[in-house]
C-alpha cells in the first residue's frame, strides 16, 4: 500500500502533494475500480515529467531524443523500431525491455554500438512498446518518449501510439485492475516537444492536432507544448527573404512564421540542428573526425567551395581525405556542420577536438531548446503534473457509474481549488482550454491567457519584464478589472469561466506586488 509520505519524497512540489493527498484521502470513499485509477494517478504524480517527442515521420525526432539524453541510443533513419513508441526513463542499470500487448516483457540486448537494435527478433505485431532504463542524469527529472512519425502512419500505428503515450502499465498493478476507460483517463503525455521541419505542411498540422486530440481532449490534463524547427541546416537561405544568405537567420525567420501557424498550440518555435546536437552531445564526434576536418581545412579555397556544393561532390571529389571518412563526416555533421567546422578551424587552427565539438554544439541551437525545456517544463513540472493528475481524477470519477461517488470527488476537488495556493492549477486548466481550442478566444486575448498562465515570473506574466514595480502594480490592477468585466459582459459562458480565472490571476499578482512595495 502506498502512503502519502512515500509519495511525497518524489513529488514535484506543493501542488502535486496537495493532489496526492486528495487521492489518498478519497481512496477509501470510492469503488475499487476508481481506487485503482487513483493509485495509477499517484504513481504518475511521483514519476518524472513525461515529455513526448512528436512530429511528422523522419523529422528527426529520435536524433533529437539522443541529443537531449546525451547518448546515441534511439535508432534513427531505418528499421522497424523507429515505428515503436520508446519510453526513456531513469534507471540504475542500462536496460531495454520489449513490452508485449499481453503485458509480457522481454529484455532486449543493446546492439554493438550501445544502441537499441533497429530490428526485433520477435513478432512485431505483438509488441506494444519499448521501455528503456538508462543511467543518464537528465532522465532523473524527465521521462522522454520517442514516438513514430504521426503524420504518415497507418491508422493502427497511430492508434497504438496514441494509446501508449504515457499509458505504460505500472509494474505493481495487475493488468486487469485498470480497465480501458481508466487507463485512458490517466494516459497522455504531460508535455510535448513538437518537431517540425521547413514549411509546416497540412499533414504536419494534422499530426499536431491528432496528437493534441489524443492527449488533451481525453481529459488527461493539460498538454504543454514547445516546438522546434529541426534540420535548420538544410534550409536554403536564398529561399527566405531577409535572411542575407545566412542559414541561421533564415531558420529563425522561418521559425517565427511557423509559430504563427501553430498558435495557440505552441507559444513559439525554436530553430535547431538535431544532427549536430546529437553528434556533439553523444560522443559521436571523435578526435579522428576533428583530424579529418583539419585536413579539409587545409584545402585551397576553390576546391573547398566546389566540394561543399553537394553531398555527392563532397564524397566523390578527388582529395587526400579518404572517401569513407568523408561519408562518415557527412553522416555525423552534414554539409552545413562540416562547413561550419572547417571555417572555425581556418579562423583558429589551434582548436582542439574538444573545443571544436563545443563550437558544433553551440551551432546546433540545443542550448536554446534545453533552456526552453527548463523554463516551460521543468520549472513548472509541479503545476503541470498536478493539473494533469486532477484532470485524471475528474475523468475517473466521471467514468464511475455512481453519482454519490462522483459528487464526493467533485466536492473534494472544489475544496482543494478554492485555496489561493491552488489557483495556479485553475490557471493551467484555463490555459489548456484555450490552447487546445476547447474555448475559443479572440487572438489577442488567447495570447494574453498564454502569457499569464505560461510563466511563474511576474514580469513575464505581465509582458513587462524589467519594468519598475509601480508600473506592474498599475497594469495588473487594470487588467484584473478588465477581465472581470469581460467575464460579466460580452463573453460566452465558457469564455467567462476562463475570464474569471485570468481576473483572479491578475488580482493575485497585484496582491503579491503590493506586498513588495
Ligand X SMILES: Nc1nc2c(ncn2[C@@H]2O[C@H](COP(=O)(O)OP(=O)(O)OP(=O)(O)O)[C@@H](O)[C@H]2O)c(=O)[nH]1
- Chain residues that interact with ligand X, rule: CB under 6 A: 57-63, 76-77, 82, 148-149, 230-231, 233-234, 273-275, 334
The residue (of 81 and 243) whose beta carbon lies closer to ligand X is 81
The residue (of 12 and 85) whose beta carbon lies closer to ligand X is 85
Please answer whether residues 327 and 315 qualify as being in contact, where contact means their C-beta atoms are separated by less than 8 angstroms. Answer: yes
C-alpha angle 341/343/344, rounded to 5°? 65
What stretches of 4-159 adopt beta strand conformation (E)?
49-55, 86-90, 95-100, 105-108, 127-134, 142-146
273 contact choice in ligand X, Mg ion, none (CB below 5 to 8 Å, kind-dependent)? ligand X
Please answer whether residues 228 and 193 qualify as being in contact, where contact means their C-beta atoms are separated by less than 8 angstroms. Answer: yes
The residue (of 30 and 195) whose beta carbon lies closer to ligand X is 195
Q: Which residues neighbour 280 within 8 Å (Cβ) at sequence distance 6 or greater?
A: 357, 358, 360, 361, 364, 366
149 contact choice in Mg ion, ligand X, none (CB below 5 to 8 Å, kind-dependent)? ligand X
Q: How far apart are CA 435 and CA 267, in angstroms?
A: 9
Q: How far is the CB of 428 from Mg ion (least distance, A)?
A: 30
The residue (of 48 and 337) whose beta carbon lies closer to ligand X is 337
Cell of 37: 485509477
Neighbours of 189 (CB within 10 A): 30
Our measurement of the distance from residue 474's CA atom to the centroid of its chain's CA atoms, rounded to an integer in Å, reads 35
82 binds Mg ion (CB under 5 A): yes
Q: For residue 270, what are the β-bridge partners?
A: 228
328 contact choice in Mg ion, ligand X, none (CB below 5 to 8 Å, kind-dependent)? none
The residue (of 231 and 479) whose beta carbon lies closer to ligand X is 231
Scanning the structure block, which residue is given the C-alpha cell 514595480? 469
Q: How far is the CB of 162 from ligand X (least distance, A)?
A: 15
70 contact choice in Mg ion, ligand X, none (CB below 5 to 8 Å, kind-dependent)? none
Q: Which residue is nearest to Mg ion (CB)?
A: 62
59 contact choice in Mg ion, ligand X, none (CB below 5 to 8 Å, kind-dependent)? ligand X
Give the CA-trace dihedral at 428, 464, 262, 186, to 10 degrees: -10
50 contact choice in ligand X, Mg ion, none (CB below 5 to 8 Å, kind-dependent)? none
Residues between 192 and 211 with contacts to Mg ion, criterion CB under 5 A:
none
Q: How far is the CB of 57 from ligand X (least distance, A)?
A: 4
The residue (of 369 and 386) whose beta carbon lies closer to ligand X is 369
Q: How far apart are CA 445 and CA 57, in angstroms?
A: 34
Q: How far is the CB of 309 from ligand X (least distance, A)?
A: 16
Cell of 174: 495487475
334 contact choice in Mg ion, ligand X, none (CB below 5 to 8 Å, kind-dependent)? ligand X
Q: How far is the CB of 185 from Mg ion (least distance, A)?
A: 28
The residue (of 338 and 513) whose beta carbon lies closer to ligand X is 338
Q: How far apart are CA 43 and CA 47, in angstroms?
A: 6
Q: How far is the CB of 62 from Mg ion (least distance, A)?
A: 3
Q: How far apart are CA 141 and CA 382, in angstroms?
A: 11
Q: How far is the CB of 367 from Mg ion (least distance, A)?
A: 23
Candidate list 17, 34, 62, 161; residue touching Mg ion; CB under 5 A? 62
Q: Which residues neighbour 84 within 8 Å (Cβ) at sequence distance 6 or greater?
A: 127, 129, 130, 148
426 contact choice in ligand X, Mg ion, none (CB below 5 to 8 Å, kind-dependent)? none
Our measurement of the distance from residue 175's CA atom to the centroid of its chain's CA atoms, rounded to an integer in Å, reads 28
Q: Which stretch, 79-87, 171-179, 276-284, 328-336, contacts Mg ion (CB under 5 A)?
A: 79-87
What's the maximum distance between 2 C-alpha atoms anywhere in the chain? 82
231 contact choice in Mg ion, ligand X, none (CB below 5 to 8 Å, kind-dependent)? ligand X
**CA end-to-end span of the chain:** 48
The residue (of 62 and 182) whose beta carbon lies closer to ligand X is 62
Neighbours of 479 (CB within 10 A): 21
The residue (of 61 and 406) whose beta carbon lies closer to Mg ion is 61
Residues between 447 and 476 with contacts to Mg ion, criterion CB under 5 A:
none
The helix (run of H) or strand (run of E) holding residue 448 is helix 443-453
The residue (of 73 and 413) whose beta carbon lies closer to Mg ion is 73
Footprint of Mg ion on this chain (CB under 5 A)?
61-62, 82
Amino acid at each position: 500500500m502506498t502512503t502519502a509520505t512515500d509519495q511525497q519524497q518524489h513529488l514535484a512540489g506543493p501542488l502535486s502533494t496537495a493532489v496526492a493527498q486528495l487521492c489518498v484521502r478519497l481512496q477509501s470513499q470510492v469503488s475499487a475500480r476508481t481506487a485503482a485509477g487513483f493509485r495509477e494517478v499517484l504513481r504518475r504524480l511521483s514519476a518524472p515529467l513525461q515529455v513526448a517527442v512528436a512530429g511528422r515521420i523522419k523529422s528527426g525526432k529520435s536524433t533529437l531524443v539522443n541529443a537531449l539524453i546525451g547518448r546515441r541510443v534511439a535508432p534513427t533513419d531505418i528499421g522497424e523500431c523507429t515505428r515503436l513508441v520508446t519510453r526513456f526513463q531513469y534507471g540504475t542499470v542500462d536496460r531495454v525491455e520489449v513490452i508485449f500487448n499481453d503485458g509480457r516483457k522481454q529484455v532486449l540486448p543493446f546492439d554493438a554500438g550501445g544502441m537499441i537494435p533497429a530490428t526485433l527478433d520477435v513478432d512485431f505485431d505483438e509488441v506494444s512498446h519499448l521501455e528503456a532504463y538508462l543511467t543518464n542524469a537528465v532522465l532523473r527529472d524527465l521521462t522522454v518518449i520517442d514516438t513514430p512519425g504521426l503524420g504518415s502512419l497507418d491508422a493502427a500505428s497511430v492508434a497504438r501510439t496514441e494509446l501508449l503515450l504515457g499509458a505504460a502499465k505500472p509494474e505493481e498493478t495487475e493488468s486487469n485492475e485498470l480497465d480501458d476507460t481508466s487507463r485512458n483517463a490517466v494516459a497522455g503525455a504531460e508535455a510535448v516537444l513538437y518537431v517540425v521541419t521547413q514549411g509546416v505542411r497540412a499533414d504536419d498540422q494534422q499530426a499536431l492536432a491528432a496528437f493534441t486530440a489524443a492527449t488533451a481532449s481525453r481529459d488527461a490534463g493539460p498538454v504543454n507544448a514547445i516546438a522546434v524547427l529541426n534540420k535548420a541546416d538544410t534550409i536554403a537561405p536564398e529561399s527566405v527573404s531577409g535572411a542575407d544568405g545566412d542559414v541561421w537567420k533564415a531558420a529563425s525567420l522561418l521559425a517565427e512564421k511557423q509559430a504563427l501557424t501553430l498558435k495557440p498550440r505552441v507559444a513559439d518555435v525554436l530553430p535547431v540542428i538535431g544532427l549536430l546536437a546529437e553528434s556533439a552531445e553523444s560522443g559521436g564526434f571523435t578526435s579522428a573526425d576533428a583530424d579529418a576536418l583539419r585536413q579539409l581545412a587545409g584545402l585551397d579555397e576553390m576546391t573547398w567551395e566546389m566540394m561543399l556544393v553537394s553531398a555527392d561532390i563532397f564524397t566523390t571529389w578527388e582529395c587526400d581525405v579518404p572517401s569513407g571518412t568523408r561519408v562518415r563526416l557527412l553522416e555525423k555533421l552534414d554539409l552545413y556542420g562540416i562547413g561550419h567546422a572547417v571555417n572555425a578551424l581556418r579562423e583558429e587552427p589551434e582548436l582542439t577536438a574538444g573545443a571544436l565539438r563545443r563550437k558544433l554544439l553551440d551551432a546546433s541551437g540545443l542550448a536554446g531548446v534545453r533552456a526552453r525545456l527548463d523554463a516551460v517544463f521543468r520549472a513548472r513540472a509541479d503545476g503541470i503534473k498536478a493539473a494533469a493528475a486532477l484532470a485524471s481524477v475528474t475523468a475517473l470519477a466521471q467514468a464511475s457509474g455512481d453519482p454519490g461517488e462522483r459528487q464526493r470527488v467533485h466536492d473534494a476537488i472544489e475544496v482543494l481549488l478554492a485555496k489561493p495556493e491552488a489557483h495556479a492549477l485553475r490557471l493551467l486548466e484555463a490555459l489548456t482550454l484555450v490552447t487546445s481550442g476547447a474555448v475559443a478566444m479572440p487572438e489577442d486575448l488567447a495570447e494574453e491567457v498564454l502569457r499569464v498562465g505560461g510563466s511563474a515570473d511576474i514580469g513575464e506574466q505581465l509582458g513587462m519584464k524589467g519594468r519598475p514595480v509601480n508600473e506592474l502594480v498599475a497594469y495588473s490592477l487594470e487588467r484584473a478589472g478588465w477581465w472581470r468585466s469581460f467575464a460579466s459582459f460580452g463573453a460566452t459562458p465558457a469564455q467567462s469561466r476562463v475570464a474569471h480565472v485570468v481576473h483572479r490571476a491578475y488580482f493575485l499578482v497585484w496582491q503579491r506586488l503590493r506586498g513588495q512595495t
